[in-house]
């Protein structure tokens, strides 16, 4: 499943502005900072290619969490930014797991193993 690198402008650690659940009134600034560090929605990399916008999940190993995160971030990005180009999904990993290849194919997610 080797893929050709995508050409285009890259953005890293793209923050999404999603509705946050209410936090307890007694939380300190430190609690809030810890909460946001753990739960903020951040896309690893967005590539602005000529024909599409690629939402890229970067993770050590291909997993169900990587697949789900990629799909969810694609939808959240589309909802927030309303891009005029098509959204495409990709995952970059060091370690492949062929058990997920059929799922990637069904969801049209491209895989790069580096």
Q: Does residue 21 form part of some domain?
A: no
Q: What is the DSSP string of 48-114?
A: E-SSEEEEEEEEEE--HHHHHHHHHHHHHHHHHH--SSEEEEEEEEEE--GGGHHHHHHHTEEEEE-
Of the chain, the end-to-end C-alpha distance in Å amounts to 12
Q: What is the pLDDT of residues 65-87, one digit of tens each?
A: 999 999 999 999 999 999 999 99
Q: What is the pLDDT of residues 3-48, one digit of tens each?
A: 677 899 999 989 888 676 788 889 888 888 888 777 778 999 999 9
Sign for the CA dihedral angle at 73, 4, 107, 79 comes to positive
What's the domain count of the chain? 1
Q: Does residue 62 form part of some domain?
A: yes
**Residues of the domain holding 72:** 9-16+27-113
What's the whole-model pTM score?
Answer: 0.83
Q: Domain of 42: which CATH number?
A: 3.40.1350.10
């Amino acid at each position: 499943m080797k893929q050709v690198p995508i050409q285009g402008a890259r953005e890293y650690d793209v923050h999404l502005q999603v509705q946050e659940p209410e936090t307890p009134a007694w939380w300190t600034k430190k609690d809030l900072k810890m909460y946001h560090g753990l739960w903020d929605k951040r896309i690893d990399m967005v590539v602005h290619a000529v024909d599409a916008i690629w939402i890229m999940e970067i993770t050590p190993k291909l997993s169900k969490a990587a697949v789900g995160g990629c799909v969810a971030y694609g939808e959240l990005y589309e909802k927030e930014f309303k891009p005029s180009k098509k959204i495409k999904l990709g995952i970059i990993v060091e370690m492949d797991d062929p058990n997920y290849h059929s799922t990637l194919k069904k969801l049209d997610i491209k895989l790069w193993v580096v």
